[in-house]
Structure formats: structure tokens, C-alpha cells
Structure 1
């Protein structure tokens, strides 16, 4: 049985695949506060403890026996600073489950010093679920999975009420995977046929300070090289499960 089910009110999903129960998150961006201070002059207290406790609670509540980070466990693109490295080391040591990180564009040399398994940037397939961060082209075997999970995008929508007030909400994006979006990157026969392709799920960022792509606002382009073309009839869902409809028509 293959299932990728978002956890209600959380930027995380439970994945049942290959007889394993995984908790999957994307874009943790450990130590982001230090980077915001240096890069943008924004001073924020660290939320490292809150992020760790939230993740521990999700693992306990879901009964997951493994954690998969769908890229960008780290925040700095170069070598990690002290706060960032410290947050990851304390977090990993506090967890009682193995951690797999699907290498993202921010994960640098993570595998050389953290007690985690780091995959190739092209992603990994576990049973019938494929995982890739999304900053580069996924491996063909990942794209042939029943469900393909990606991060990188930090999808958000801007919602406006009748009196002009607005707010930004993190969302999930889910739709059919369109192989045509990948056709120029792979040899014939490597991609699934259009009628056999699975679903594509774009994860919201776990870290609510990481910003994101406003998917329903003109001029805010997607970051992944295959989006939005690869997302067929993509629907947007709030973290509480509310379906907003087509992400591009909200």
C-alpha cells in the first residue's frame, strides 16, 4: 500500500511505503535566524527549540519510525554557522528514529558531519514513493513512482478578504505528474507514459520563517525547473486540509 497523507494542521506528511512508516517534511532550514541577521539585518530570537519539539511531537503522534527530510535541512548554502550546525546536531541526537535527507541546494556538506543519511540530489525512491528536493531534475526512477514528493518551492497563497485585508498561508500542492515537462531531459523509455504517471506533491516549508513562492500571484515564478508545467490540474490545500481549488485560480 502506498499513501502520502498530510498531518492535519502541520507541514508534514505520513508516508506508508515499502512496509515502512515515514514522517516526511521539507525545508527545515535550521539556523535561519542567524542568516536573516547577517543577510537582511533582521533580528529574531531562535526558534530552534520550538522546531525540535514540534518535530518530536509529530514523530510521536504519528508513530513514524523514520524521518525523511525532502531537502534543505540546512539553511546556509556554504558551510554551516555555529547556530545552524548546533541546531541540527542537537535535533538529530534527540530523535530516536533514523533520518534520511534528500539533498537540497542548501545542504552542502551535511553528510560529512551530521549523523544522517544524505541521498543524491536526484532523489530517492522508497517503495512506490519518490522523493526529490526539486532544485534540479529528479532521477527517472523517482518520476516513475506512484507519488512523487518534492520541496524547494515553499508554496504559499495570498488570500484577500472583501475589505482588502490579506494574509499569506502555507499550502500543499497536489495534482497529476505530467511527464511532458521532463521529456527533454531523459532518454526515450525512461519516463512513465502520460496515462500511467502518478501524483506530484509539493510540500510546504516546515520552517515558517523561510518565505516562499506565492503560487496564486502574478509575477511570482516557480523555482523548480519543472514547475508549474509538471503539475497537472494542481490543487492547493491549507495545512488544516481545506481544499482551495486550482492553485492558479485562487
Structure 2
């Protein structure tokens, strides 16, 4: 059965910081559940980084992820980087959480981890059970995946859609009396080929350019910080943002379109 023209290649799961990516052109082809910035063991990190004491949410995170697997029934799980939290090798509570996570998930589906800046030592510890890519990302079928702390590989840029992370995008929403709240957000927009071609040492005409949409994922871990997409003076962390996208709309987890992120 062919994919409907209006069916998105990357479709967020309503209410959750996760999406389903259709890797092939037909509905019968492989589907991946995609999440970003899991940050297993973040509570230990907050303790030694900031002196903040929080009980571990490891069981809650795993329950959320397994529920999403139940609901979406994917062929694989793709984690867009930062599966763990420590910059260096995982240890202590983080290792325990990762062991349980990898055991539980790989019993159900294969796992691809797109290496992020917090994934030092993950390949050495778990590379026999999960696929760990290079930092420049990977293309699976027609979808490219990159964490976002480095420039993407050419094969990623030449995909039909590109999924990125690293930013933990969020928006500050204010009410009529000046109150405000933080909401995790998606950023989606058409990619600009110019900076990617320049970084690769190519002309735009040399690229097999498919006019991909860039989808920047919210963090799966709700205890991690993030980039304020609509706060003046806050810059992006990724080297290819904002130049790598012509413009991007912000969406809340429930699917509400907020419009261009700069004007939210």
C-alpha cells in the first residue's frame, strides 16, 4: 500500500516527545520510533553538577518508552543521541539504568543510537547489543538522523527528511497577566542547502538535494534543560542552526502549531 501524499514522513506522537519515522516509501516498509536526549542517570548528574538532590525517575522513563513501543508497534527504536547523561564513561546509577533499559528494549526491537556528545563509552559498554553510529549521523532508508552537536554527514543531508536533537527546544508562554510557563516544543522547517554544501566543500548543485524538512526533537527527559526558541538573546547550540533552516515553526507536544518560532 503506497503512502498517501499528505502522510508525513516523520509524525510526532500526540502528547509525547517522540515520533514515528516511515523509513521507506510504502506503508509496508520499516517504521521507527524516534526519541531524543533520554539522558539516563540525569539525577546523579544533577547531584554532582549542581548539588540538586532528586529521586531517580528511571522507572518512569522506561515505562513511558515501553508504552510508546506498545502504542506505535515500530520495527526499531532510534535514539537521537544522549542516551546517557555523563560526558565520559557511564558509571554508578547511570550504568544500572542503561543496563535495564537496553535489556528491556532489545528484547522487543533493535536499537540504533545516533551518537551524541553525552554518549562517551556507550559503544564500548553496549555496542554488542545496540547499533551506535558516528557523531555525523546515519541515513536509514529515506530519513537522516543526527544528534546535532556536529555537522551531519552527506548521506544525512541528502535524505528526504532529517531528524535532529541536542537543543532540547522549549518555548516560554505568557498569559495576559504576565505569568509564564515552559513547554517543550518541536521545531520543523525546510532545510537551507547552502551551509551544508559549504561545510562539505561542495556546490549546492553537487548535492542530491531532496528539499528535506528538518525536525528538531524535544528532549525525552523532562528533567533536562533546553534552548529557549522564543527568548531573545538565546542562541542555538547546534553548529548548523539557525542557518541550516529557512524558517521553522514551533509546535507543542499536543500538536498545537505556534507559528514561526521567532515570533511565538
The TM-score by the shorter chain falls in which range? over 0.9
Task: Choose 183-192 or 68-77, whichever is displaced more.
Answer: 183-192
User: 2:57 and 2:49 mapped to 1: Cα distance?
Assistant: 18
Larger proportion of strand: 1
Please report how far the alpha carbon of residue 141 of structure 1 lies from its aligned counterpart in structure 2 after TM superposition. 1.1
Q: Does 1:208 align with 2:222?
A: yes
User: 2:101 and 2:150 mapped to 1: Cα distance?
Assistant: 27
Please report how far the alpha carbon of residue 192 of structure 1 lies from its aligned counterpart in structure 2 after TM superposition. 4.4
Q: Which runs of 5+ in 2 are unaligned?
A: none
User: 2:189 and 2:208 mapped to 1: Cα distance?
Assistant: 16
Q: What is the aligned counterpart of 1:191 among 200, 207, 221?
A: 207
Determine the structure 2 residue equivalent to 1:73: 83
Determine the structure 1 residue equivalent to 2:22: 16
Q: Which runs of 5+ in 1 are unaligned?
A: none
Please report how far the alpha carbon of residue 212 of structure 1 lies from its aligned counterpart in structure 2 after TM superposition. 0.1
Contact 2:157 2:196 in 1 (8 A): no
The SS at the match of 2:248 is strand
RMSD (Å) for aligned C-alpha atoms: 1.2
Contact 1:14 1:24 in 2 (8 A): yes
Please report how far the alpha carbon of residue 181 of structure 1 lies from its aligned counterpart in structure 2 after TM superposition. 2.3
Classify 1:163/1:70 alpha carbon distance in 2 versus 1 (closer, same or farther; 3 Å). Answer: same
Aligned ranges for residues 223-242 of structure 1 at < 5 Å?
223-242=237-256
Aligned ranges for residues 172-191 of structure 1 at < 5 Å?
172-189=186-203, 190-191=206-207
Determine the structure 2 residue equivalent to 1:84: 94
The SS at the match of 1:231 is coil
Q: Does 1:40 align with 2:56?
A: no
Contact 2:172 2:180 in 1 (8 A): yes
Report the TM-score when normalising by structure 2: 0.91
